[in-house]
Structure 1
């Protein structure tokens, strides 16, 4: 994988950290994503839409960042070669979470 184009655009992924597990859908516009707990029966109804930025790190690896309306900040390192995702999340109360999990394309 040598292309610098973000490979998630237009696709849906499962971010499985054990607990929690999320479904993340990257819209074809290359600017927005939708996410919801994986167990949500109706993804469209449960999904939150975010504007993200994907930064190329090296072939197959991108850092994806966004800030949510409630002040939560999220940074993912998405490794498409090794099917892993690393997340760093700051909550509104300033609690800091780090998670590592599997990153599986669903479509």
Structure 2
């Protein structure tokens, strides 16, 4: 499903998500692409093709696969400014984490 900015107001905006042990900047380029970049010592960065499903206004189920075959599924809750993340690494480890969101000023 293709979303426009009215249906999916996060498109075109940047957010910071703090998972406690790592912080990422997320840029929702359009309805099919997201750029992520780790902040600080971590060197992770990439643009991924995402599958986005609107569960309700400002609540999305978003999933993607990274180049190393890591799979990620987020429940992105922009009403409560929180992300729940499930990750299966390329080594088959399973990681569950929760992070707090905040909008970055120069969106």
Find the aligned partners of 2:45 and 2:55 in 1 and give their Cα distance.
Answer: 27
Find the aligned partners of 1:59 and 1:30 in 2 and give their Cα distance.
Answer: 15
8 A Cα contact 1:14 1:38, kept in partner = no
Which residue among 43, 50, 53 is the counterpart of 1:52?
A: 50
Unaligned 5+ runs, structure 2? 1-5
Higher relative contact order (CA 8 A, sep 6+): 1
1:6 aligns with 2:5: no
1:18 aligns with 2:17: no
Give the root-mean-square deviation of aligned CA atoms. Answer: 2.0
Number of equivalent positions? 100
Q: TM-score, normalised to structure 2's length?
A: 0.84
Unaligned 5+ runs, structure 1? 41-45
Instruction: Note the alpha carbon deviations across 1:31-79, whole angstroms, 9 max, x for none.
Output: 1111111227xxxxx6311000110112221011100111000011011
Question: Could you say which residue in structure 1 is the equivalent of 2:37?
Answer: 36
Q: How many angstroms does 1:6 deviate by? A: 2.2
Q: How many angstroms does 1:7 deviate by? A: 2.5
